[in-house]
Structure 1
Amino acid sequence: MRHFLDAISLRDAGPSQFPRRIERLLWNIGCSFVVNIDGPGDDGGDILARRGDEDWVIQCKWKRRTPVGAEAIDEVALARETYRAHRAIVVTNTQFSLGAKRRADELTRLGPQILFWTGNDLAAAFDKLPDRFGRVELRSYQETALARLESDLESNGRALLVLATGLGKTVVGGEVLNAHLVRHPTDKVLVVAHAKDLVHQLERALWRHLPKQIPTRLLTGENKVDDLSGVTCATVGSALSAIQFGYRPALVMIDEAHHLGAEGQYDELLRILERSRQFGVTATPWRGDAHDITEQLGAPSFQLGIEDGMRKGYLAQVDYKLFVDDIDWDVVKDASTHSYGLADLNSRLFLPQRDEAIREQLAAVWANTSRPRAIVFCRTVEHAERLAELLDHTPLWSGAQAVHAALSKRERQRRLLAFRAGDIPILTAVDILNEGVDIPDVNILCFARVTHSRRIFVQQLGRGLRLSDGKDRVVVLDFVSDLRRIAAALKLKRSLGGKEIEVLETSGRSNIEFSDQRVAALMEEWIKDAASLETAYDEFRLQFPEILEAQE
């Protein structure tokens, strides 16, 4: 029976897909993390992995027929030194030349042994794997969500899941795919995302939900394949191209479904595949335009937001502090007699806060947090780099670095990997961590004068809400530069005060407070309808009551 490590599948995988097969194997044999670093400047390493207390570096050599030569041994030896790995492995779908074996013996006399994995070794390893990679234990709400999604797909052919970041939307989505493939093991399944990085993460996340016999593959601008059996994870453009050439999956999953629009590639894809079952998953169903994604996928089959997730004990509790110390009170006095546009009022009301002030508040929280790990969200790449440099020059955060889209993919991966491993104490970021990134032990978030978007706010807050061993709370420092952010925090505060949902036993409740209580009183009065203001456009005009004398 064909499988993802048999000789024919490995030969057909080609040089771009072959490392993904090895990644899947590494996860299945119990590595705690696996990251692909293949690319220019990789210093001889294609994959980094950790198993137990050991760091591994793997060099992947796909060959059509010929054996691997001695040059691969020198490459992986360099990679072991560069990445300070305990173990170096060269893996191929064929065999190793006599020269490669001799070179490995020479280097072994000088240091640790370099290991060889051949095509025969890979096939034997597959036979020893359990049918499923681990066991997925669903929470009660995930079981309910799964049942409702399956019911809607069966009756309507369409379904939508809305789960806040940290509640496991990909887990539920993966179980929907698995349930379908258990019933229809030969069906083709398509999983679509809007960005290549997310497609890579999706394929990796789905492995633990699928039987080992089900093949998976990537379909992006840089990965072209002929065999689309099993589960294909694709960018929307590449998926649409395959569909236009006759590819017809039985089931379609849209990740980050808030990217659906009334027109464009997503709409065309879903229209052509109207006979296929379709479902979407998202943490943030709101878009920046007026389009309603329920027009394509129907009303949510199941929905659980941040507030309910925290009150039920499925997400970390939040200590949320809004810093508004630098508010311009002259503008406050003037606001009652003027009708300011929101963007104009933001620029007038909030005086620029120094990065040094942000650093001081971070240091205070850091000193009182057990095993602190922090992400600082910034407005621009330039600000993220500047703030990372400032933090790096503070002994407390030596090694601080920025992560953003201007970096190469490999450098972003390297920095994220170092952050996960604890080698980087704190990251500054611009948007790149909004979607698809899972770092559960982050327990400090800082918003450094970011522009508010309801969707981005929920995504970024979600980076700190995942529970992990030893973590049940996250501290949020918000250096406010937008009234909509205050509205979002007030809405969250009011929601968490609700009594209609059962609160499970946790370490306590969330706290949301202002650094200046005068501002708290003012904003509570100003922002009567927090939900409306949170999603308002820059041109929205605020009308303020004349209550300012009480704030003197």
Structure 2
Amino acid sequence: MSEKLKENTVKTIIKEKEIVFNENCILGGDKDFFINRLSECFLKAKKIDIIVAFLRETGVKLLKNDLELAKNNGVKIRILTGNYLGITEPSALYLMKDILKSKCDMRFYADSKRSFHPKAYIFHYEDGGGEIFIGSSNISLSALTKGIEWNYRLKKEDNIEDFKYFCYAFEDLFLNNSIVLNENELKNYSRQWKKPKVYSVKEIEEEVEKEKVINIFSPRGAQIEALSGLNKLRDEGMDKGIVVASTGIGKTYLAAFDSLKYEKVLFVAHREEILNQAEIIFKNVRENFKTGFFRGNTRDLNVDGLFASVQTLGKKEYLNENYFSRDYFDYIVIDEFHHAVNKNYINIINYFKPKFLLGITATPERMDNKDVFQICDYNIAYEIRLTEAINKGYLCPFRYYGIYDDSVNYDNINLNRGRYNEKELEKSLMIDKRANLILKHYKKYNSKQCIGFCSSKNHAEYMAKYFNENGVKACAVYSGVGENSINRSEAIKKLVNGNIQIIFSVDMFNEGVDIKTLDMVMFLRPTESSTIFLQQLGRGLRLDKNKKYVNVLDFIGNYKKADMIPSLIGGKRKCNEKGNNPNEFEYPEDCIVDFDFELVDIYKRLLSKDIKIKDLVKEEYFRIKEELGHRPRRVEFIKGIDGEIYF
């Protein structure tokens, strides 16, 4: 079946199956969908009160057309729901508010510790009549369609006293036992919300598959919350903003959804693969969207959406009236926004004057401490980091194994500007003793699809050769030609098809790659950049219905920044505890972390070490001086110093 055919709405399918058994009794199942009865009532109501135990995103999407119709008819809608056990999804609340705007008064039942299970839909009509549906259906796709849910229609004219009694009970709960879901309350609920244990990754994926019948390409989860934040910025008169979202959230789809209000769109990225992927996504979201590219030797101009490489468009020769007027684009997206402090990005940002500019990134913090938030006037529309994304079920949990590696003594490798000398590091890592350690641990986990991140091209080539020689089908991916190297797209195809089991790479898989079925990530070089670490970790965190978790193998020695790893994977000391054993820290939901005991001893020393602030500042001074090439002025020093030391 083609993707277009799948876009048939659930209601179309419903009508084909509909058989009315009883005017007042709705039983659900394949032939008696509750949504049909509700739609009839939404059409003629002047006031609607809804009380349900929970709302789910798929249910709100199913009701969207009915809700919009009611809103346009001036209907006042009140909704009382629960937050008991966290079943109500924040994205469902954000979506409901976005659909109804000021026509909706939405509240939580005040006692979050008390079981809250009412399900009733109360409709008031112009002629003074009304009806209530009371039964078992919450606002979810299943409950409104083919789930076995029993609901009974109670007509006002037939049961006026009962109708009044239910209305009075709703009024009392709504006015006297509720918390108004204003912006702050909704934001706090979203921040604290975790995916309920009753939902597995497979169930979430199956729900998404069902949702495709409603609309294949529509915002979901974090995207809905981010869109709400972007709309709020624009309502406040802002013309630019940044969204910080962990790898795997769907930032490019988010940008495509947000662009729907605008005609001329520019999407800027630094990799060709990202541009190709983005062009497909925008065409999925926007019908009849004429697209083109501005990169290499291609100069497409008469298009609705232009996908441009920063290396090409950022040149001064193209940033002039001969090619583009300053207001040519209504909407500009800068992908991987942490790069936006670089020259060509700045050229583009300074030249164009769009109605709105969106920066998207998973990792806004830079090792050189340049401030990307300043470029968007510190307008953070939405932010969801690794821990929150896993807790909410948007990303796959990980099982992290910190493996002690004493085959390399990093004290013997020279540092240059805070980084290890590349040639010396490469030579130290390319030894059989270490490769054998990696192979031995790799074989423990029966991985089918793995990426191993290396320090250099030669290191990647060496590791691919070693694995091939030891019976594990492998390849290397980097810019250049080697005995075991192939291009990136071919490598991905072979990995997914099972022709190889592991890809060794340096940084070509950091961005713009989506392999949902990846079951292992290996870090085979010292972690020197938090940004790169999180990007590479994110390769394995995509959700897939056949994947419960991703294994992460990190080979750790006595290198300079090893102590930052526990915090990078979300580790925090438990409340009121001061211990420095990273195995006892709190990590994201359903994640397992296990550092070898030798590393635990190292971390205990590192995390408890009382380093004098004077020594830290002195070390930072010389680092910044070397980076600038001159003695730093006071402002340069303050801007360049590591934030953890400064604060």
Q: Return the TM-score normalized by structure 1.
A: 0.62
Q: Counterpart of 2:350?
A: 271
Q: Counterpart of 1:310?
A: 390
In 2, Cα distance between equivalents of 1:283 and 1:349? 28
Q: CA deviation at 1:167?
A: 1.8
Q: CA deviation at 1:29?
A: 9.1
* Residues 147-203 of structure 1, C-alpha deviations (whole Å, 9 max, x = no match): 11132244201110011111221221121123x24xxxxx21111112333222221
Q: CA deviation at 1:377?
A: 0.6
- Name the aligned partner's letter for residue 265 of structure 1: N
* Residues 339-391 of structure 1, C-alpha deviations (whole Å, 9 max, x = no match): x9966899999994665455545545544536531111111101101110111
Match 1:456 to one of 532, 551, 555: 532
Runs of 5+ unmatched residues, structure 2: 7-211, 577-585, 625-647
**Matches for 1:502-541 after TM superposition, within 5 Å:** 508-514=590-596, 516=598, 517-526=600-609
**Matches for 1:191-340 after TM superposition, within 5 Å:** 191-211=267-287, 213-228=288-303, 230-240=304-314, 242-244=318-320, 245-247=323-325, 248-261=328-341, 264-299=343-378, 300-326=380-406
- Name the aligned partner's letter for residue 307 of structure 1: T
SS at match of 1:156: coil
Match 1:437 to one of 490, 503, 513: 513
SS at match of 2:445: coil
Q: Residues 498 and 239 (structure 1 numbering): CA distance in 2 closer, same or farther, change over 3 Å?
A: farther
**Contact 1:218/1:233 (<8 A) preserved:** yes
Q: Counterpart of 1:136?
A: 217
Q: CA deviation at 1:321?
A: 2.4
Q: Residues 527 and 259 (structure 1 numbering): CA distance in 2 closer, same or farther, change over 3 Å?
A: farther
* Residues 382-405 of structure 1, C-alpha deviations (whole Å, 9 max, x = no match): 11011101111122x13x100112
- Name the aligned partner's letter for residue 340 of structure 2: L
Match 2:479 to one of 405, 409, 413: 405
Q: Residues 468 and 443 (structure 1 numbering): CA distance in 2 closer, same or farther, change over 3 Å?
A: same
**Contact 1:256/1:281 (<8 A) preserved:** yes
Q: Return the TM-score normalized by structure 2.
A: 0.53
SS at match of 2:298: coil
Q: Residues 481 and 342 (structure 1 numbering): CA distance in 2 closer, same or farther, change over 3 Å?
A: farther
**Contact 2:398/2:551 (<8 A) preserved:** yes
Q: Counterpart of 2:248?
A: 166
Match 1:447 to one of 516, 523, 530: 523
In 2, Cα distance between equivalents of 1:330 and 1:383? 16
SS at match of 2:222: helix
* Residues 284-334 of structure 1, C-alpha deviations (whole Å, 9 max, x = no match): 1123434211222132211111122223332222222233341789979xx
Q: Counterpart of 2:66?
A: none
Q: Residues 253 and 342 (structure 1 numbering): CA distance in 2 closer, same or farther, change over 3 Å?
A: closer
- Name the aligned partner's letter for residue 146 of structure 1: L
In 2, Cα distance between equivalents of 1:243 and 1:383? 40
Q: CA deviation at 1:246?
A: 2.6
Q: Counterpart of 1:91?
A: none
* Residues 33-77 of structure 1, C-alpha deviations (whole Å, 9 max, x = no match): xxxxxxxxxxxxxxxxxxxxxxxxxxxxxxxxxxxxxxxxxxxxx
Runs of 5+ unmatched residues, structure 1: 1-25, 31-130, 182-186, 333-339, 542-552
**Contact 1:375/1:445 (<8 A) preserved:** yes
RMSD: 4.2
Identity of aligned residues (%): 23
If asked which structure has higher relative contact order (CA below 8 Å, sep 6+), I would say 1
Which structure has the greater CA radius of gyration? 2
Q: Counterpart of 2:230?
A: 149
Q: Counterpart of 1:190?
A: 266
Q: Residues 478 and 367 (structure 1 numbering): CA distance in 2 closer, same or farther, change over 3 Å?
A: closer
* Residues 82-103 of structure 1, C-alpha deviations (whole Å, 9 max, x = no match): xxxxxxxxxxxxxxxxxxxxxx
In 2, Cα distance between equivalents of 1:27 and 1:450? 44
**Contact 1:451/1:482 (<8 A) preserved:** no
SS at match of 1:142: helix
- Name the aligned partner's letter for residue 394 of structure 2: Y
Q: CA deviation at 1:254?
A: 0.6
SS at match of 2:571: helix
Query: Which shifted more, 367-376 or 288-297?
Result: 367-376
- Name the aligned partner's letter for residue 292 of structure 1: D
**Contact 1:258/1:293 (<8 A) preserved:** yes
Q: CA deviation at 1:483?
A: 3.8
In 2, Cα distance between equivalents of 1:363 and 1:144? 42
Query: Which shifted more, 217-226 or 423-432?
Result: 217-226
**Contact 1:191/1:233 (<8 A) preserved:** yes
* Residues 192-249 of structure 1, C-alpha deviations (whole Å, 9 max, x = no match): 11233322222123332222x1112211122122413x11111124435554223411
Q: Residues 462 and 539 (structure 1 numbering): CA distance in 2 closer, same or farther, change over 3 Å?
A: farther
**Contact 2:340/2:372 (<8 A) preserved:** yes
**Matches for 1:68-87 after TM superposition, within 5 Å:** none
Task: Give the length in aligned residue pairs.
Answer: 393
In 2, Cα distance between equivalents of 1:280 and 1:321? 34
In 1, Cα distance between equivalents of 2:467 and 2:351? 51
- Name the aligned partner's letter for residue 554 of structure 2: D
**Contact 1:403/1:427 (<8 A) preserved:** yes
**Contact 2:329/2:354 (<8 A) preserved:** no
* Residues 412-464 of structure 1, C-alpha deviations (whole Å, 9 max, x = no match): 32222212222211000011111111112212111112451121111111111
